[in-house]
Structure 1
Amino acid sequence: MRRLQTPLWLARPTRFATLSHTGARIALALIALLLAATSLAFDTPAPPAASGDAAQRADDHADVVLYEGIVESMRHGGDYYTVAAAALRGGNYPLKPFVTFRLPTLAAVQALLPPAAVLALLWTLCIAVAVAWHARLKPAFARAPPRIVAMVLLAGGLVMFVQPSLIAFHELWAGLLIALSLAVRMPGRWIEAAALGLAAMLVRETAALYVAAMACLAFAEGHRRESAGWAATLGVLALAVAAHAHAVAQVVEPLDPASPGWAGMMGFGFFVRTMTITTALTQAPLWLAAPLVGLALAGWAAWREPLALRAVTVFALYAALLGVAGRVDTYYWGLLVAPTLLVGLAFAPDALRDLLAAALDRRRITVKRVVR
């Protein structure tokens, strides 16, 4: 048997450390394939760059301006569905099917609060995410310097979430709620996490992928009560969506345009591209940012914690969603998982060292039986 080496950054060896010689080589090949696949981002079109001109904001951030207009009309007494239908028609947006209307949760909350209070709520949620993840990551690292690096990487995933100009984006809030839910969930303590997951779904229904993953993983681990709790939140979402569909049907007219669909089929490269746009990687050239996304995923896969399995599963599900249903103009779906992705880079040094040590190890013990 091979003696496990002392970790570089982590408090204990990664899950790759115990792989066999052959298993480590297979894992290295898979990581190399993953890094090669990130180059698909070069063949994926990026959304048009913002002009930076305040006068062109309606064109640069059309969806944000749409949501801001809905909230402002509600502050003046407008009904959400009537106001949203008028705004969608005015902006030449589709009104069919009903999912073209966002759930009213976020708009209702923002309409009740002054803009300064909404911004304070957003920043408070960002701080809560940082505090919760610091608590979860602290035991993972043996020393303070790598722990600081991990928190800097977390901050790199939150750069889009503190921008006041994007405060009307539903994915912004849902992504923070998912990140906070993932951090606070622990074995035997899941009610708070499930409640945060429900809040995320009521803001943006695509957060249901996260909740479904949590329910399935809890069931697979034998936590039947927890799994049922997560499933119950999906039932609440189903009731909310049914009521939402009924309300939308009351304001949609026969001649209103329908959506062309969401089968963008952009592939894995689009997921990589969205991660480079929605995190601090947007400041790096694509030839560097794209493989870093793959390396972050590999780092998450290496961390020997149930939390890491959940994170990797969630990343994989949203990569599939973006790759199949995403379009160039829906790149902001990546905000649902952007906050925590880059943290995986903090696990990568130990992951690669453990894999190389296992793959290159040639020591063998030969046991001989001597008969006297």
Structure 2
Amino acid sequence: MRVWRALLLALLASLAVPLAAKPPAKPVQLDQELYRTVVERVRGGENFYPATMAAQRERSYPVQPALAVRPPTMTYMLALLPSTVTRTAALIALLFGALIALRQSLADRAPAETLAVVALAVAGLFGAFFPDNVYLHEQWSVLLIMLSLAAHRRPWLSVGLALLAVLVRETALAWLAAILLMALWQRDGKRALMALGAIALAGGLWLIHARLVAAQVVPGDLTSPGWVRFGGLPLVIDALRRNLVLTGLPGPLILVTVAASLAAMLRWGREMERTAAIGSAGFLAALTVFGRPDNGYWGFMAAPFVLLGLPLLARQALRRRPA
């Protein structure tokens, strides 16, 4: 146990080195500044919607349709903390908690395989170590998804965490839908009803969010050019580079590696891996249709999960090796 913890700390420490990864693109930094401003305004006593709309207008950001305005969940959570330092500490604590939960869910695996899975997950979480990335919704939502997957033996907790992830970032719906599909495949009616109820609740809350956004729109407000761009595989490849292992690889090799990993998770994985694979595959498929060229940072949502099948492939290869 002590050795495992030491190795995990070493992995996390290596990601804290600024030169370890490619810095996020400039549009992401601008988004971070926007979200930080809104958090500070809400902490100062302003209402979320007027504060958000004002901050987006100041930066010439579109405020309609409602998808142009992120849900208030993360803002309210961060506004409870006094500074960026304490908020970042909370994010890193959640990251450690998610990795520990992931490791515990793999307690019956061989130590080497467990370490490999955790290391590959860490490689997809390096964004949490960049300054001010605490204000990116993806960083919080993906950790809640990881906790949800690790808690698959407790349906109410798993579905509840996935719902919270969706309320932080709508794109987490891919993994909540994956929980529903897995429940239907396993004929687990109770889990399926819980997941379906969570999806319905998330949809209802988003409609309320949309109405509150619409109530703040005034003549002259900018409208988003939209996200239906059919960007295809180039956007998928850009998104997948958010995993540190894949960052420097050629595009075709990235696609082959991720496809093999997801297939292995579906073929030899257990419930956690299969749910992660279904959610990641659905998310990546959606990226071929939705998303602009500057939305590659959405890939932080899938980065910790897309390579978790590589240890399964290695296990199968070792089993087939001649004596």
Which TM class, normalised by the smaller chain length? 0.7 to 0.9
Give the TM-score normalised by structure 1. Answer: 0.74
Deviation, structure 1 residue 309: 2.1
Structure 2 match to 1:127: 96
Shift of 1:166: 0.5
Provide closer, same or farther for how the CA distance between residues 304 and 87 of structure 1 changes in structure 2, counting only shifts above 3 A.
Answer: closer
Cα deviation per residue 1:159-196 (whole Å; 9 max; x = unaligned)? 1123342010011111111111011112xx20111110
User: What corresponds to 1:70 in structure 2?
Assistant: 38
Aligned pairs for 1:75-94 within 5 A? 75-94=43-62
| Unmatched 5+ stretches in structure 1 | 1-48, 358-372
Match of residue 318 from structure 1: 283
Structure 2 counterparts to residues 129-168 of structure 1, below 5 A: 129-141=98-110, 144-168=111-135
After superposing the two structures, state which structure 1 stretch, 222-231 or 202-211, moved more: 202-211
Structure-2 residue corresponding to 1:296 = 261
Aligned residues: CA RMSD: 2.4
Is 1:280 aligned to 2:244, yes or no? yes
Instruction: Select the residue among 282, 289, 292 that pairs with 1:327.
Output: 292
For residues 322 and 236 of structure 1, do their structure 2 counterparts lie closer, same or farther at Cα, with a shift above 3 Å needed?
same
CA distance 1:349–1:69, change in 2 (3 Å): same
Aligned-partner Cα distance in 2 for 1:96–1:179? 31
Residue 104 (structure 1) shift:
0.7
The structure number with the bigger radius of gyration is: 1
Q: Could you tell me which residue of structure 1 aligns to residue 305 of structure 2?
A: 340
1:99 counterpart = 2:63:
no
Kept in 2: contact 1:262–1:325 (CA 8 A): yes
- Equivalent residue runs for 1:190-201 within 5 Å: 190-201=155-166
Q: Is the 8 A contact 2:152 2:158 kept in 1?
A: yes
Contact kept in structure 1, 2:283 and 2:302, CA below 8 Å: yes
Distance 1:354 1:260 in 2: 52
1:242 pairs with 2:207: yes
- Contact 1:322–1:334 at 8 Å: present in 2 too? no
Please say if residues 70 and 87 of structure 1, whose CA atoms lie closer than 8 Å, have aligned partners that are also in contact.
yes
Q: Deviations over 1:331-352 (max 9, x none)?
A: 1221112222222221222345
Runs of 5+ unmatched residues, structure 2: 1-21
Counterpart position of 1:360: none
Residues 302, 347 of structure 1: 8 Å contact kept: no
Give, as a single letter, the amino acid of the residue that structure 2 aligns with 1:148: L
* Preserved CA contact (<8 Å) 1:179 1:337: no
Higher relative contact order (CA 8 A, sep 6+): 1
Question: Displacement of 1:291 after TM fit?
Answer: 4.1
Correspondence for 2:148: 181
Alignment of 1:227-266 (within 5 A): 227-266=192-231
Change (3 A) 1:112 1:291: same
Displacement of 1:145 in angstroms is: 2.8
- Conserved in 1, the CA contact under 8 Å of 2:175 and 2:276? no
Taking the aligned partners of 2:73 and 2:44, their CA distance within structure 1 comes to 17
Q: Note if contact 1:174-1:336 (Cα within 8 Å) is conserved in structure 2.
A: yes
- Between the two proteins, the alignment pairs up a number of residues equal to 299
* Alignment partners' CA distance in 2, 1:300 and 1:355: 18
Q: Note if contact 2:98-2:143 (Cα within 8 Å) is conserved in structure 1.
A: yes
Q: Following the alignment from structure 1 to structure 2, what is the Cα–Cα distance between the partners of residues 51 and 173?
A: 17
Q: Deviations over 1:1-54 (max 9, x none)?
A: xxxxxxxxxxxxxxxxxxxxxxxxxxxxxxxxxxxxxxxxxxxxxxxx8599xx
Are the equivalent residues in 2 in contact too, given 1:176–1:339 (CA < 8 A)? no
Q: Secondary structure at the match of 2:71?
A: coil
- Provide, for residues 92-138 of structure 1, a one-character-per-residue CA deviation record: whole Å limited to 9, x for no partner: 21111111111111111111211233222211211111111112223
**Structure 2-normalised TM-score?**
0.84
The answer (yes or no) to whether the contact 2:138–2:301 under 8 Å persists in 1 is: yes
- Do the aligned partners of 2:36 and 2:135 also contact (CA within 8 Å) in 1? yes
Name the residue aligned to 1:26.
none
1:316-363 CA distance string (max 9 Å, x none):
110112111022111122111222222222122234567899xxxxxx
SS of 2:46's equivalent in the other structure is: coil
SS at match of 1:341: coil
Which residue pairs with 2:173 in the alignment?
208
Q: Alignment identity in percent?
A: 29
The C-alpha deviation readout for 1:192-246, integer Å capped at 9, x for no partner, is 1111011111111222222122113212321111111111112221221122112
Indicate which of 87, 91, 106 corresponds to 1:118.
87
Residues in 2 aligned to 1:257 and 1:176: alpha-carbon distance in whole angstroms: 32
In structure 2, the residue matched to 1:362 is none
Code of the residue aligned with 1:214 in structure 2: it is I
Secondary structure of 2:135's partner? coil
